[in-house]
Amino acid sequence: MDRRAFLARSLGLGCSLAASPLVTPVTFAATPGEGRLIVLILRGGMDGLGALPAYGDPEFASLRGALPLGEAVEDYADLDGFFAMHPALRPVLPWWQEGHLAFVQAVSTPYRDKRSHFDGQDILEAGIADLSAGLSRDGWLNRLLQHLPDTGTETAYAVGNDPLSILSGDAPVARWSPDTDLALSPQAIRLAELVMQEDPAMSAALREAFSLAGSDGDALSFDGARGDMMAMVRQDMMASLRNQNHVKLAEFVAKRLRGDARIASFSLNGWDTHQAQDRGLGRALTGLAETLVTLRDTLGGPVWKTTAVVAMTEFGRTVRLNGTRGTDHGTGGAMLLAGGALRGGQVFGDWPGLSEVALYDRRDLLPTRDLRAHAGWLMQGLFGIDRGLIEREVFPGLDLGEDPRLLA
């Protein structure tokens, strides 16, 4: 076969989905219902009291200063006369009225005292009570997946270039980072397929990569000059290092959830606000708001209706500001919930108060409930799985307690 003949008979770029063994028709047929769960991991420890200030608490002003409440863009939005919302979250404020946005206050994992990101995130993603038995090797979303009926290889997506141990485990999970963006010349694509042919496993993975890369917004095939292509790859690499690709991740996730996927997780970084937190927290919350808006816009109405997004973090931060106008690692924090499936427009959770005696260790918000309980009730409602199963398998040993009725 000479080069001309090869090019002449090549089939072009469209990698037929049906031809890929990783994307079998069975996968397409198999979906565990219509509920969708997106778990956002906020790495670094979100300051719950900064995102959702309890301005109605008598101690609040002495701890954090007076809050500018109002209607302007730079103002905090009053939610219920007690809690306000950070101005950076204003883009999702209308959702509060619709009942598509909610918060849970004063929650945490069972992690206490050491206040290490590393261990805290490990416990958060493992969904276990402590690390005395060593670091975990599987995550709670994977354990959930193992007990969902009719799952396929694309039911759950771990997205981004983060290991996301929340989805690690025995159940198959699709992993993709849209910033792996492939930008190849059309011919390189054909030649890559050609040389991979002799290895079915690699060939299948490559074909799925091509179809995924082509579906995430920008085209796989790159016709521009070589130098432009290099620049694009460089840009993608740098973006992936800086983690500024949250909109891209959200778009990708939403597209998957419009199809067969039902569970997805990705991380947002930048929450470790030890200093000048006005700026840092605002930036991180802006990213979160953009992520949520992108998810909703891309999912579209009907799918949004069956979706719940939960944003959780490894721990809250100190209730007092520190000497550099930031906050240090704390304990109790807040969780954000969004989605059309929610019974939103309210702040869930028991408020422990901010007086000195009410604090944990006299410095942190006291957690009044395990955040796994809320995650558990969400899963129970979205996927109709048995409470006992969640308490035994997904969060071993957890008592889910009373149903907070998070879903509409």
User: Under the rule (CB under 8 A), what is the footprint of other proteins?
Assistant: 1, 3, 6-7, 22, 116-119, 131-137, 161, 163, 165, 168, 174-177, 179-185, 187-188, 191-192, 194-199, 201-202, 205-206, 208-210, 212-213, 226, 229-230, 233-234, 237-238, 240-241, 323
Question: 29 or 201, CB closer to other proteins?
Answer: 201
210 three-class SS: helix
Distance, in Å, from the CA atom of 231 to the CA atom of 241, rounded to the nearest integer, reads 15
Closest separation in Å from C-beta 44 to other proteins:
13
Closest separation in Å from C-beta 366 to other proteins:
19
Closest separation in Å from C-beta 295 to other proteins:
21
Distance, in Å, from the CA atom of 346 to the CA atom of 43, rounded to the nearest integer, reads 25
* Closest to 175 measured CA to CA, from 90, 65, 103, 266: 266
Other C-beta atoms closer than 10 Å to the C-beta of 116 total 15
Other C-beta atoms closer than 10 Å to the C-beta of 402 total 9
Distances (CA, A) of 24 to 170, 198, 201, 257, 350: 20, 20, 14, 17, 47
Question: 71 or 226, CB closer to other proteins?
Answer: 226
Closest separation in Å from C-beta 149 to other proteins:
23
Closest separation in Å from C-beta 22 to other proteins:
7
**C-beta separation of 54 from 311 below 8 A:** no
Question: 301 or 323, CB closer to other proteins?
Answer: 323
Other C-beta atoms closer than 10 Å to the C-beta of 70 total 13
Question: 130 or 403, CB closer to other proteins?
Answer: 130
Closest separation in Å from C-beta 113 to other proteins:
11
Distance, in Å, from the CA atom of 101 to the CA atom of 58, rounded to the nearest integer, reads 26
166 residue type, one letter: I
Question: 30 or 232, CB closer to other proteins?
Answer: 232
Alpha carbons within 13 angstroms on the beta-carbon side of residue 265 total 24
Name 17's Cβ contacts closer than 8 Å, sequence gap at least 6. Answer: 23, 211
**C-beta separation of 206 from 194 below 8 A:** no
* Closest to 282 measured CA to CA, from 60, 83, 106, 51: 51
Question: 22 or 378, CB closer to other proteins?
Answer: 22
Closest separation in Å from C-beta 202 to other proteins:
6
- Give me the helices (H) in 2-139, please: 3-9, 25-29, 48-51, 60-64, 93-98, 117-126
Question: 165 or 380, CB closer to other proteins?
Answer: 165
Question: 29 or 238, CB closer to other proteins?
Answer: 238
Question: 137 or 392, CB closer to other proteins?
Answer: 137
Residue 132 is classified by DSSP as T
Closest separation in Å from C-beta 199 to other proteins:
4
263 three-class SS: strand
Closest separation in Å from C-beta 84 to other proteins:
31
Name 286's bridge partners: none
Question: 57 or 122, CB closer to other proteins?
Answer: 122
Closest separation in Å from C-beta 211 to other proteins:
8
The pair of structure tokens assigned to 47 is 């300051």
